[in-house]
């Protein structure tokens, strides 16, 4: 039944845990609306025939619907709309809540290609390798204009915006190769801005990533060339270099003591933070990036708005590296992420 409907509606293959949920809602909406509009059309045709004018002096009788008919005419469509909203909202919440154990991949769009980087090293252009049956979170940004990552077989789509991070996640279900498309008109080559997800069996993926890391060690001395934006070594290690080069550590300390100029980076990631305007936010990737690019949007309570704006001064991958570096700064040594101390 599922397969038949999928083919009838020309939907792509279902290759993630979201695909069935999204398609079931799609079938529900399509079937109800198609059946209803067909019924309305047929009844209208029948009435044209049944109530046609039979003579020149025939008058139209006055018909008043009963109260129960009016109540039904409003409540039945309303019930369907509310049901669709409830199901859609449930799916949306699921799509917006990556599980904590998801594997992170940084995605950067630029005219006109996709780049992917794993926190522990490898990066690639155009091809995203992921394991099957494990949740993967995409942290998405753009180096120039707005793009949008769309993986039709997974039924996930998320905008890529310069200067900030957006996120989405999926669990791929079937090894194979699936298209990645850009769905935001981004210039002359927009229609050619595609990539590919390669879903691998989990063991094959582990093998692949080890292979990639071995390759990285071999070319560890090659510097990240901005025109190539190949991200070398551990992102967190690179982030530390960026922090030193950009002078971040003059105001932010990484030793765990508070300083007067800027908030400490130790344990900052995922920490609830009170702002000067009274709001409380969680210091996630989106907040950390925004603080680099538009520092005056959210001022932490107790600090002055002294932070300079780094929009245009640090690139998307450098911002990603800084975020990874901050994420690696945990006071609990057992939680230390990849190479943050190095």
Which range in 8-16, 54-62, 181-189, 311-319 contacts ligand CUA by CB under 6 A?
181-189
Query: Closest separation between CB of residue 146 and ligand CUA, Å?
Result: 8
Q: Are 36 and 80 in contact (CB under 8 A)?
A: no
Query: Closest separation between CB of residue 144 and ligand CUA, Å?
Result: 9
Nearer to ligand CUA, 183 or 315 (CB): 183
Nearer to ligand CUA, 109 or 340 (CB): 109
Q: How far apart are CA 212 and CA 137, in angstroms?
A: 20
Question: Which of 6, 147, 164, 252 is close enough to bind ligand CUA by CB under 6 A?
Answer: 147
Binding to ligand CUA in span 182-201, by CB under 6 A: 182, 184-186, 190, 193
Q: How far apart are CA 152 and CA 166, in angstroms?
A: 18
Query: Closest separation between CB of residue 138 and ligand CUA, Å?
Result: 15
Which range in 81-89, 177-185, 282-290, 297-305 contacts ligand CUA by CB under 6 A?
177-185
Q: Are 127 and 201 in contact (CB under 8 A)?
A: no
Evaluate the omega torsion of the peptide bond into residue 210 and state whether it is cis, within 30 degrees of 0. Answer: no
Q: How far apart are CA 97 and CA 226, in angstroms?
A: 33
Beta bridge pairs of residue 138: 105, 168
Q: How far apart are CA 291 and CA 285, in angstroms?
A: 10
Q: By CB under 6 A, is residue 117 in contact with ligand CUA? A: no
Measuring CA to CA, which residue among 39, 291, 16 is closest to residue 150? 16
Measuring CA to CA, which residue among 318, 131, 151 is closest to residue 209? 131
Q: By CB under 6 A, is residue 109 in contact with ligand CUA? A: yes
Q: By CB under 6 A, is residue 327 in contact with ligand CUA? A: no
Nearer to ligand CUA, 182 or 199 (CB): 182
Q: By CB under 6 A, is residue 23 in contact with ligand CUA? A: no
Contact positions vs ligand CUA (CB under 6 A): 109, 112, 147, 182, 184-186, 190, 193
């Amino acid at each position: 039944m599922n397969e038949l409907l999928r083919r009838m509606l020309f939907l792509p293959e279902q290759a993630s845990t979201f695909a069935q949920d999204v398609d079931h809602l799609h079938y529900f909406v399509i079937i109800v609306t198609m059946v209803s509009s067909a019924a309305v059309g047929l009844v209208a045709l029948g009435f044209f025939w049944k109530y046609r004018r039979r003579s020149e002096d025939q008058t139209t009788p006055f018909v008043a619907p009963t109260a129960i008919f009016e109540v039904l005419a409003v409540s039945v469509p309303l019930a369907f709309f509310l049901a669709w909203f409830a199901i859609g909202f449930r799916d949306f919440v699921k799509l917006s809540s990556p599980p904590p154990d998801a594997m992170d991949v940084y995605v950067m769009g630029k005219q006109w290609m996709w780049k992917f980087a794993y926190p522990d090293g490898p990066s690639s252009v155009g091809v995203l390798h992921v394991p099957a049956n494990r949740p993967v979170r995409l942290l998405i940004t753009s180096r120039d204009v707005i793009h949008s990552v769309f993986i039709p077989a997974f039924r996930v789509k998320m905008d890529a915006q310069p200067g900030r991070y957006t996120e989405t996640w999926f669990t791929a279900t079937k090894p194979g190769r699936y298209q990645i498309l850009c769905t935001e008109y981004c210039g002359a080559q927009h229609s050619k801005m595609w990539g590919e997800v390669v879903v691998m069996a989990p063991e094959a993926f582990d093998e692949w990533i080890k292979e990639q890391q071995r390759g990285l060690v071999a070319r560890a001395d090659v510097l990240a060339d901005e025109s190539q934006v190949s991200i070398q070594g551990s992102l967190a290690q690179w982030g530390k270099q960026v922090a030193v080069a950009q002078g971040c550590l003059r105001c932010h300390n990484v030793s765990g003591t508070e300083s007067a100029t800027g908030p400490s980076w130790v344990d900052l990631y995922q920490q609830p933070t009170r702002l000067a305007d009274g709001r409380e936010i969680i210091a996630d990737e989106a907040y950390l990036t925004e603080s680099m690019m538009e520092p005056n949007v959210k001022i932490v309570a107790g600090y002055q708005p002294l932070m300079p704006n780094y929009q245009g001064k640090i690139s998307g991958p450098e911002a990603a590296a800084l975020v990874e570096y901050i994420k690696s700064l945990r006071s609990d040594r057992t939680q230390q992420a990849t190479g943050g101390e190095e």
